[in-house]
Structure 1
Amino acid sequence: MNSYIVLLLAISTLLLLIFNIKNSRRFNLFDHWLHHQLVKRHDGYKWQVIAFINDPKLMVVWDVLLAGLLLNEGRELTAFWVLGTLAFADISGIILKRLIRRKRPIMHSNMETGYSFPSGHVLGATTMGLILLQLFAKTYGLVFVISIIALWVTVIISRLSLKAHYPSDIIGATSLAIACFSISQQLLFAF
């Protein structure tokens, strides 16, 4: 699919979610109901490890380690692109969280602080997943792709199971990550 179409779809989805979260009581009620249907009981402890490994702050550490490996291989431009892509996504996520100011679902884990939209964990996991797929999918093949997707789905399940986010927070984070990655990717290929 054309990268401009992907970017347009991601931005359109994100804007539609923001509009509905801010303006539609019906949308928010549906999102709350869907969240309740997806997560009937609180399975917090077994998902805390996944949440920890994919914590946005720790994701920066993984990103720096990847950039270091790339620098060691003499791939300076790619290393800076890796750092810039995650930074762009994280800064965009922080700005959106502060603009939207959406409260977390009722009964969320006490370990979860801050606003709900978009999910920082899913934003980081999606962005890093896209970076890893861009860099290594051709080299390591289908098993690698499936592994990255499985890890990403696990992060999504953990965020819902911990009652940290509504489904729209997950979709919003994924859309934002795709948009930031697409813009960053186009900048990389411009050089």
Structure 2
Amino acid sequence: MITWVVIVVLLVGFFTMMIGINRGWWRGLDQWAFLHVTNQQDHRFWHQVAFLGQPWLTVGWIIAISLWWLLQGQWLLTIWTLGVLGIANVIGIITKKVVSRTRPVGHLPHDDDFSFPSGHVLGLTLLVNLLIFYWPSWGVVLLAVLWWLLVASSRLVLRAHHLSDLIGTLCFAQAWFLICDKLLTLVWLKF
């Protein structure tokens, strides 16, 4: 029951962000973040961090995890793992086209598509959830969350996204993972 309440709260947060983004509801939060976060002169470190959070690398990790489950004979976990990221990416691409939020001023030239939701944060949030779901140890949790925080921070420092983009993407990704977890439990009980 509590999981469904959390899902609803996260989805309300996501849709509130989605609706409010182009209406300027979050402009103050975004401006505050840019004033306080993006004041570093040398961005080489952040470029490297952003590279390690590239969506195509996240897809590679998800495929590797899926292949590992396939080699273990766990076809349900293989399909589920691929579906968690695959369907979320499709929803993310559609959302990006519908919302059509422009990137922050001063963003990287190669970031030429829309800003919301963040592909880096969407994929990495799901990957971190999957790593913690499959290997729930303090070491995995600590490293995965640290990796996520660094990549999310890089998106702000490099002006690839507004803070509200990251918050809205996090809400969607967490809600989606919880929904997928519930679906896996329902399917698992049938087999």
Query: What is the TM-score normalised by the length of structure 1?
Result: 0.91
Distance 2:35 2:101 in 1: 17
Tell me what 2:159 maps to: 163
Note the C-alpha offset of 1:42: 4.9
Note the C-alpha offset of 1:26: 5.0
How many residues end up aligned between the 2 structures? Answer: 187
Distance 1:90 1:163 in 2: 22
Q: Aligned letter for 1:81?
A: W
Aligned residue among 161, 169, 172 for 1:173: 169
Tell me what 1:146 maps to: 142
Q: How do residues 102-121 of structure 1 correspond to structure 2 at under 5 angstroms?
A: 102-121=101-120
Tell me what 2:91 maps to: 92
Q: Aligned letter for 1:158?
A: S
Q: How do residues 35-74 of structure 1 correspond to structure 2 at under 5 angstroms?
A: 35-74=34-73
Tell me what 1:21 maps to: 21
| RMSD, matched Cα | 1.6
Structure 2's unaligned 5+ residue stretches are none
Q: Any idea what the Cα deviations from partners look like across 1:117-166, whole Å, max 9, x if unmatched?
A: 111101111011011111110xxx21221111111101111111111011
Which runs of structure 1 show a deviation greater than 4 angstroms over 4 or more consecutive aligned residues? none
Q: Aligned letter for 1:20?
A: G
Q: Aligned letter for 2:7?
A: L
Q: Is the CA contact 2:26–2:164 (under 8 Å) kept in the aligned structure 1?
A: no
Distance 1:93 1:3 in 2: 22
Question: Structure 1 residues 13, 42: closer, same or farther in 2, change over 3 A?
Answer: farther
Query: What is the TM-score normalised by the length of structure 2?
Result: 0.91
Note the C-alpha offset of 1:38: 2.0
Is 2:179 the counterpart of 1:183? yes
Q: Is the CA contact 2:88–2:173 (under 8 Å) kept in the aligned structure 1?
A: yes
Note the C-alpha offset of 1:41: 3.3
Structure 1's unaligned 5+ residue stretches are none
